[in-house]
Amino acid sequence: MEDDEAIELIQDSRGKLGEDRLNESQRSGHLCAWVSTFHYKRLPCWLADQNLYHGLYNAGIKVKFGDGTTWLLRFPRVGKVHPRYSNEKVAMEVAVFLLQLFKLDFDHIDWRSRYFLSFSSTTEYFQYVVNQNWEQVVRQRNSTYGRYGAMAKYRSFKALKSIITDFIHDEYDRTKFKIVCDDLGLANLIVKSREDLTVIGVVDLEWSYIGPAQLFGSAPWWLLMDRPTNDAELSALMRWSEHSGAMWLHMLLTTGFNDPCSYPFTKLIQHIGADEWESRKRDVAEDEVEAFGVKKMMQLKQYRKDLEVIKANKALVDTGQMRKEDFVAWEIDVFHITKCLGTGDGISELFVSRGLSVILARYGVDVAVSNPACGGIVN
């Protein structure tokens, strides 16, 4: 699936605005003064170097205290983690070892997104995740390339949902839920030194949640990392994941953006069998498929128009003719945008509904007719 370029442009500006604010806090001395409040002696500190260390979702800077102690100040990257989740991300960090985690059992699934969500079975949770991925396809206006691509994707997702129960481990469907981290890998491990590779810590587990045991023991993760285990129960679960084909379903559920042509999707279809897969797709009502194809074409047409507006405004930002603050305030409310995606409506009505008609007029966007569906105005 294509990335939403409109959102990427907005988030890029958000990230640059965040870096501007971080630099200003350094120049003013507010940053180091704030960090000193966390030192047990409240010693003064300063930047140890001028580097900003970037991870995928985090950034860090080194600070040094008067007693010679050096800290790495680590925080979510603006533009990479939505502000609604930034505090959640920090609060959810844990540092425990994987096999120790497997020994912990829980009686239900707790999954944290914007809210805490609870599930009583693996089946219920997997169906929820598939629905979430489907919502991405429905709401992201450029999620399909054309009418026939949209129709093909509709059939595939419907077929995928119909096979979920075929890949549930009966023993673990309603019991023995585990702490799961979908992003755990060798890069998350802290070792003593280059010479002594004893693992002494695990980082970046902030998106961990209580999930299905079969996700914890999914075969591809372990095989790709080539990490053996002496735990008999976990080893058996890994073997089941591989032999049943559930490993491919797990990869789809944990990576999102489930394009039917992706590697795990094609491997899952191969495991099921081409004839069975085609039979599942033929069971999907053709009138639903046609209606979805028409809807996605309308969305894509409007998306391309709106993207041109965003690109034009981004060019104004890049040339200094529009402030980053105005651009971000004008365009960033992704959650509000998604409420209107199904209607085919354009971008300007969203901004007026947020009380920004003055900015619209300032940059030459005409507004006219009221649109109750989005609480705003359309061109």
What is the per-residue pLDDT across 184-215, written as a single tens digit (0 to 9) for each? Answer: 666 677 777 777 766 677 777 777 889 999 98
Residues 312-329: pLDDT tens digits? Answer: 988 999 999 988 888 887
Helix (H/G/I), strand (E/B), else coil: 179: strand
Beta strands in 66-151 (DSSP E): 70-76, 109-112, 116-119
Rounded to whole angstroms, the Cα distance separating 206 from 210 reads: 12
Q: In Å, how far are 283, 313, 330, 340, 344 from 374, measured between CA atoms?
A: 35, 22, 16, 6, 11
Cβ burial, residue 155 (10 Å; 0-12/13-18/19+): buried
> What confidence score (pLDDT) does residue 334 get?
41
Q: 49-63, 92-106, 114-128: which has the highest mean pLDDT?
A: 114-128
Summarised one tens digit per residue, pLDDT across range 362-378 is 434 444 433 333 443 33
C-alpha 184/C-alpha 227 separation (Å) is 12
135-149, 211-225, 268-282 — which is least confidently predicted?
211-225
Please, what is the Cα angle at 52 between 48 and 54, to 5 degrees? 135
Tokens of 306: 């709106």
Q: Inform me whether the pLDDT recorded for 291 exceeds 80.
A: yes
The CA–CA distances, whole Å, from 155 to 44, 166, 190, 216 equal 61, 18, 44, 29
CB-CB neighbours of 38 under 10 Å: 10
Give the pLDDT of residue 98: 63
How far from 161 is each of 154, 155, 249, 274, CA to CA, in Å? Answer: 11, 10, 11, 16
| Model confidence pTM above 0.75 | no
CA-nearest of 205, 213, 200, 214 to 182 is: 205
Q: How many CB atoms lie within 10 A of CB 335?
A: 10
**Helix or strand run (H / E) with residue 94:** none
Mode of pairing for the β-strands spanning 209-211 and 178-180: antiparallel
Higher pLDDT, 189 or 344: 189
Domain range summary for the chain, segments of one domain joined by +: 5-83, 98-284, 287-378
**Are the C-beta atoms of residues 148 and 184 closer than 8 Å to each other?**
no
**Residue type, position 258, single letter:** N
Do residues 77 and 58 make contact, with C-beta atoms less than 8 angstroms apart?
yes
Burial 110-131, CB ≥16 within 10 A → b, else e: ebeeeeeeebebbbebbeebbe
Tell me how far apart the alpha carbons of residues 8 and 20 are, in angstroms, rounded to a whole number.
Answer: 18
Return phi, psi of residue 43, to 5°.
Answer: -70, 150
Amino acid at 260: P
* Residues 189 and 231 sit within 8 Å (Cβ to Cβ): no
Q: Rounded mean pLDDT of 253-259?
A: 73
Task: State how far the Cα of 58 lies from the Cα of 203, in Å rounded to an integer.
Answer: 12
pLDDT tens digits, residue range 49-98?
888 776 666 778 899 999 988 888 877 776 665 555 544 443 343 344 56
Q: Which of 85, 68, 66 is nearest to 77 (CA)?
A: 85
Q: Is 151 helix (H, G, I), strand (E, B) or coil?
A: helix
Average pLDDT over residues 7-31: 83
Residue type, 208: S
